[in-house]
Amino acid sequence: MVSKSLFDNTETAFALKSDSELERAYFLFKMIANEPLVRIGTAATKLALNMHLPVEGLIRSTVFDHFCGGVNEKDCMSTVDSLEEAGVSSVLDYSVEGKEEEKQFDATMEKIIDLTRFAKNKSAMPFSVFKPTGLGRFKIWQKVTEGATLSEAEQGEWERIKQRYHHVCKVAQECNIALLIDAEESWMQGAADGLCEEMMEIYNKETPIVFNTLQCYRWDRFEYLKELHKRAKAKGYLLGFKVVRGAYMEKEHDRAEDKGYPTPICASKSATDENFNTVTDYILTHLSDISLFLGTHNEVSSYLAMETMETESLSKSDGRIWFGQLYGMSDHISFNLAKEGYNVAKYIPFGPVKDVMPYLIRRAEENTSVAGQTSRELTLLKREKERRKL
């Protein structure tokens, strides 16, 4: 029987945090619970960074150090090691976003390749990860998604994106490291899905090396999964999916309204939840063809997945199933799952402070706007502080 109080154990959840780290986390979540403060703080930080004001130190000692492993991969190693001691694996995520130049895309590709080669000899790092827009310009992804005609120069850019994908996937296959490819805005995601399918067809013949991401706030994703499952079966390759709810909801609504097309987002939070749980269940009952990385901070969805695993008589440590949370969030899920013997990995973002700002802003906004999220983090931190006092 899956115990519904598993995630209540704050001692396990925060075992890696010193008293002062616990205080800092509490203070931080209290600040980002305040919506006006986040709005003003976000705008002021963007402005200050653009004006080259010396605010990096302040960002580092607050949000950055809480949500990121450091400015480079070396910084992250002590975190990787201490997570490993608690039975939690790491996914080092080079979180530099919004770049537009070819040499930056090449540099990102090299970074992913280096990390993948490093991970080969580090059992606590079973995955590599990247974002489609880390390897090519957003506009190119968008144009290919829209079926627009590319100029000669753009065609060259698209070919180079494909080459980068092949390069990264080939190294991942050689190192036997699974590769998680993030999902982004729907108006560029069609091309990313198409290219990822091409990669899966080539590199997932024997084992699921390449994982795409399904954003379940999109109502079309379950159909997409079932269609792709049919195609993959017919062509004889395996699928891997990271399943998430999705991080760009407001942007998606705004654009749909602006351009006058129906929003791709489910009609309500509960519809997203249902879609997420249906997709998860589908994968958990088709594991011979599809592997799962369940990226969520939602307790109910995590319990439901554990229950399905039990009903299907699956081992907690089945290598085809991973639970994943972001570093700095939902430690009560990660560490308690790991203690029970499930496969768990934390995404650890890293990169120069200025370049990871879009990621940090998404985390601050998410913790402000998601009903219940911050109050839950705060409640847990408070409970652990009180437990330690006793």
Ligand X SMILES: Cc1cc2nc3c(=O)[nH]c(=O)nc-3n(C[C@H](O)[C@H](O)[C@H](O)COP(=O)(O)OP(=O)(O)OC[C@H]3O[C@@H](n4cnc5c(N)ncnc54)[C@H](O)[C@@H]3O)c2cc1C
Residues lying near ligand X in the complex (CB under 6 A) are found at: 182-183, 213, 215, 217, 244-249, 265-266, 268-269, 272, 295-298, 324-326, 347, 366, 370, 373
What are phi and psi for residue 278, nearest 5 degrees?
-65, -45
Residue with tokens 């080969």: 120
Give least dist CB 335 to ligand X, A: 15
Contact 311, 269 (CB under 8 A): no
Give least dist CB 166 to ligand X, A: 21
CB of 45 or CB of 301, closer to ligand X:
301
CA of residue 281 relative to chain centroid, distance: 20
Give least dist CB 234 to ligand X, A: 27
CB of 129 or CB of 171, closer to ligand X:
129
CB of 23 or CB of 257, closer to ligand X:
257
CB of 93 or CB of 157, closer to ligand X:
93
> Which of 206, 110, 228, 209 lies closest to 169, judged by CA?
209
Count CB-CB contacts under 10 A for residue 247: 18
CB of 273 or CB of 384, closer to ligand X:
273
CB of 109 or CB of 304, closer to ligand X:
304
Give least dist CB 336 to ligand X, A: 16
Residue with tokens 């795409």: 212
Non-local (6+) Cβ contacts of 358 within 8 A are 97, 98
CB of 56 or CB of 263, closer to ligand X:
263
CB of 182 or CB of 384, closer to ligand X:
182
Give least dist CB 51 to ligand X, A: 30
* Closest residue to ligand X using C-beta atoms: 295
Give least dist CB 191 to ligand X, A: 16
Per-residue HEC secondary structure of 95-134 comes to CCCCCCCHHHHHHHHHHHHHHHHHHHCCCCCCEEEECHHH
Rounded CA-CA distance 349/70 in Å is: 8
Count CB-CB contacts under 10 A for residue 82: 13
Give least dist CB 19 to ligand X, A: 27
Give least dist CB 253 to ligand X, A: 9
- Continuous H helices in the chain: 10-13, 19-32, 35-50, 56-59, 65-67, 73-85, 102-120, 138-146, 152-175, 186-203, 221-235, 249-259, 269-284, 299-311, 331-339, 357-369, 373-389
Q: What is the torsional sign of CA 364, 370, 372, 373?
A: negative
What residues does 90 pair with on adjacent strands? 346
CB of 153 or CB of 371, closer to ligand X:
371
Give least dist CB 355 to ligand X, A: 18
How far lies 327's CA from each of 93, 188, 217, in Å?
10, 26, 22
* Burial class, 234, CB count within 10 angstroms (exposed 0-12 / middle 13-18 / buried 19+): exposed
CB of 205 or CB of 222, closer to ligand X:
222
Give least dist CB 165 to ligand X, A: 16
